[in-house]
Homo-oligomer: A and B are copies of this chain.
């Protein structure tokens, strides 16, 4: 009695589930098949290869984020909302975040956020070139922030609490790091994200004003 008929959707869904439960390294075709109670090669009837499957995962996660865009709001609020919506990925699918961010999607799911962002920036009065620049800047900041949040990028940043405090950084070699150890060890991701976001928004608002003024 095959409970359900096995489809690309079901495969992608169990892959996401598996990633969130056991991490991206746990994903293998055999593992997914086992999870579905199915032969390994049956998967290949619905997915051409593992890479495509992972693209499917990225796409699915990305298309789950809820963009509640209010076209009447001030553009700064719309930018804020979109950035925050994007950050939801790190909350809802922390262990898939790296996947979402490191795969280039040519599909509608991948283009939709870009489209919205560009529309918002254009509505703020930026010309095409500026809108693209701003978008790239925001994406860079957001991607970097998400990676830190999900623990991919702690390269010299949060550093495990114990490592930096007990394990002992040599205060002679790294005076600042060791004196700020407590601050470096803790990280309120939401606050940090918002801090940078506000700074960026303020900055491009000023940038826009300057442009306006010199025109």
- Residues of A with Cβ closer than 8 Å to B? 58, 98, 100-106, 108, 110-115, 118-119, 122, 128-129, 131-133, 135-137, 139-145, 147-148, 151-157, 159-160, 163-164, 167, 169, 173-177, 179-180, 183-184, 187, 192, 195-196, 199-200, 202-204, 206-207
Contacts and interface: CB of A to CB of B under 8 A. Distances in A.
- How would you classify the secondary structure of chain A's contact residues: helix, strand, loop or mixed? helix
A128 B173 contact: no
A82 B187 CA distance: 23
Contact of A118 (B111, B129, B141, B180): B180
Contacts of A98: 102
Contacts of A106: 159-160, 163-164, 167
Nearest to A151: B104
A128 B163 contact: no
A167 B145 CA distance: 32
A90 to B, nearest CB: 12
A132 B184 contact: yes
Nearest to A173: B108
A164 B115 CA distance: 13
A83 to B, nearest CB: 12
A179 B139 CA distance: 20
A153 to B, nearest CB: 5
Contact of A113 (B136, B147, B156, B180): B156
Contacts of A183: 128-129, 132
A214 to B, nearest CB: 16
Contacts of A169: 111
Contacts of A200: 199-200, 203
